[in-house]
Structure 1
Amino acid sequence: MKTEQDREEIIKAINVLLNQAYDSTLDEIFALLKRIDEEEEQDDLKAYDEAKEDIRINGTMSWEEVKKELKKEVV
């Protein structure tokens, strides 16, 4: 994950390029960004459905179990 400063720098650089782009290029970029957003939303919904199915099949975990799992992943 990027820091806020990194994000701001990237956005500024993108804005410079966008301001120099042809209108047709802007249309293509906009369409691409919308498509990416839609794909990410579909991925999120798929992950949600998979998690619900996993809970249905395997049950749920206690909060203590979740914390133990998270500690294992951090190390």
Structure 2
Amino acid sequence: MKTNIEREEIIKAINVLLNQAYDSTLDEILVLLKRIEEAEEEEELKAYDEAKEDIRINGTVNWKEVKKEINLG
């Protein structure tokens, strides 16, 4: 995960390039960003469904057991 400063620098660099881009390029970039967002949403939903299925099959973990394992580790 990037720091706020790193993110701001990247966004500034992207904005410079976007301001220099042709309109058709901007349209293509928008389509690509939307596809990326949709793919990320699909991945999140898949992970959520897999976690639910894992809980259904294996049950949940007792919180006291988790705390014990953390303290022993």
Give the TM bin, normalised by the shorter chain: 0.7 to 0.9
- 2:50 aligns with 50
CA-atom RMSD in angstroms: 1.8
- 2:20 aligns with 20
Looking at structure 1, the residues matched to 8 and 43 of structure 2 have their Cα atoms a distance apart, in angstroms, of 26
Once the two structures are overlaid, the 10-residue window that deviates more, 39-48 or 55-64, is 55-64
Shift of 1:66: 6.9
Compute the TM-score of the two structures, normalised by the length of structure 2: 0.87
**SS where residue 60 of structure 1 aligns?**
coil
Looking at structure 1, the residues matched to 26 and 48 of structure 2 have their Cα atoms a distance apart, in angstroms, of 33
Q: Deviating runs (4+, > 3 A) in structure 1?
A: 66-69
The answer for unaligned runs of 5 or more in structure 2 is none
Q: Rg: which structure is higher?
A: 2
What letter matches 2:21 in structure 1? A
Compute the TM-score of the two structures, normalised by the length of structure 1: 0.85
Looking at structure 2, the residues matched to 32 and 59 of structure 1 have their Cα atoms a distance apart, in angstroms, of 39
Give the number of aligned pairs. Answer: 70
Identical amino acids, percent of aligned pairs: 74
| Gap change, CA 1:25 and 1:66, over 3 Å in 2 | farther
The answer for unaligned runs of 5 or more in structure 1 is none
